């Protein structure tokens, strides 16, 4: 099936491509994305209001006492490393970038706990810069089931996706792929019966599921130390709780109040 067919069907299936992390500015999105490693957006959204109420910007967070940050981040898992990375990130932003989030992948991945996935999320969602395509466990699983690759490394998957998808579609496509995997193309039991891409997808048409059948060539890797602040490829899990994608016009952007972006 053509790439255009998949893109068209995916747009119908996920009309509102957005980040589900709550944020009000690029700094909050950067920290929230770091915290999402080995956690869920739902859990991160529960702790970030307290975090940013107490330390609202890079200057404040850089001066925070580590135990206090750890206590707030405890529910997200790996909270000591995450707290350390968050405080160190804030200090680097203050020292090297006047407290602002840099707008290049090269500068972002110099920050502790930031790899390409986090950089792509921040640049695409906060700044509208198509630096690449976000490949997390959902994006990996969906594109694997579509038959687009047989890779286990997110960097290799991203390269394949970038070659197939037009650059102007990268940001929205990445959001859509994640949301489709989160709410429809589930890890343990894909909801093929209600999937609008069923006729395009080999698994939807009844072929063996390469994700569930396993094999060394398609087993997603675990998060590394460098990726500790960027949810890359994780083991199969149940879908995250939360509302299904809702329709909205235009690209993802911060909302009022708690400030939804997209993920």
pLDDT of residue 214: 64
Asked if residues 173 and 239 have their Cβ atoms less than 8 Å apart, the reply is: no
pTM recorded for the entire structure: 0.81
Q: Name residue 22's beta-bridge partners.
A: 260
Structural domains in the chain?
3-17+133-229 (1.10.1670.10), 26-127 (1.10.340.30)
Tokens 């995916």 label which residue?
10
Distance CA 54, CA 21 (A): 19
pLDDT of residue 123: 98
Residue 117 designated active-site:
yes
Asked if residues 20 and 249 have their Cβ atoms less than 8 Å apart, the reply is: no
Asked if residues 220 and 165 have their Cβ atoms less than 8 Å apart, the reply is: no
Q: Token digits for 111?
A: 């920050």
Q: Which of 136, 159, 167, 217 is catalytic?
A: 136
Residue 217 designated active-site:
no
pLDDT of residue 193: 95
Q: Write the burial class of residue 252 (CB in 10 Å: 0-12 exposed, 13-18 middle, 19+ buried).
A: buried
Distance CA 86, CA 32 (A): 9
Q: Which of 117, 152, 217, 260 is catalytic?
A: 117
pLDDT of residue 20: 97
Nearest to 87 by CA among 102, 101, 74, 70: 70
**Phi and psi at residue 189, in whole multiples of 5°?**
-150, 90
pLDDT of residue 219: 40
Along the 263 residues of the chain, how does pLDDT read in single tens digits? 799 999 999 999 999 999 999 999 999 999 999 999 999 999 999 999 999 999 999 999 999 999 999 999 999 999 999 999 999 999 999 999 999 999 999 999 999 999 999 999 999 999 999 999 999 999 999 999 999 999 999 999 999 999 999 999 999 999 999 999 999 999 999 999 999 999 999 999 999 999 987 643 444 434 444 444 333 333 333 344 444 443 333 333 343 333 333 33
> Which element (helix H / strand E) includes 44?
helix 41-54
pLDDT of residue 213: 79
Q: Token digits for 10?
A: 């995916």
Nearest to 146 by CA among 182, 177, 183, 171: 177
């Amino acid at each position: 099936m053509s790439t255009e067919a998949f893109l068209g069907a995916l747009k119908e299936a996920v009309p509102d491509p957005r980040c589900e992390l709550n944020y009000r500015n690029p700094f909050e999105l950067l920290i929230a994305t770091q915290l999402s490693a080995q956690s869920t957006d739902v859990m991160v959204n529960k702790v970030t209001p307290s975090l940013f109420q107490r330390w609202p910007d890079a200057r404040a967070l850089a001066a925070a006492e580590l135990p206090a940050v750890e206590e707030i981040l405890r529910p997200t898992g790996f909270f000591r490393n995450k707290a350390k990375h968050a405080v160190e990130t804030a200090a680097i932003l203050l020292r090297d970038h006047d407290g602002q989030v840099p707008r290049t992948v090269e500068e972002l991945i110099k920050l502790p706990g930031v790899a390409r996935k986090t950089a792509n999320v921040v640049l695409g969602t906060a700044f509208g810069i198509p630096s690449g395509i976000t490949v997390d466990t959902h994006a990996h699983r969906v594109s694997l089931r579509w038959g687009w690759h047989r890779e286990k490394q997110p960097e290799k998957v991203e390269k394949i996706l970038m070659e197939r998808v037009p650059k102007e579609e990268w940001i929205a496509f990445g959001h859509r792929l994640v949301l489709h995997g989160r709410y429809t193309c589930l890890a343990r039991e894909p909801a093929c019966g209600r999937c609008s891409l069923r006729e395009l997808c080999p698994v939807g048409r009844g072929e063996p599921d390469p994700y569930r059948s396993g094999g060394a060539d398609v087993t997603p890797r675990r998060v590394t130390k460098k990726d500790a602040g960027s949810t890359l490829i994780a083991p199969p899990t149940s879908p995250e709780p939360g509302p299904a994608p809702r329709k909205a016009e235009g690209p993802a952007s911060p909302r009022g109040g708690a400030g939804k972006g997209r993920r």
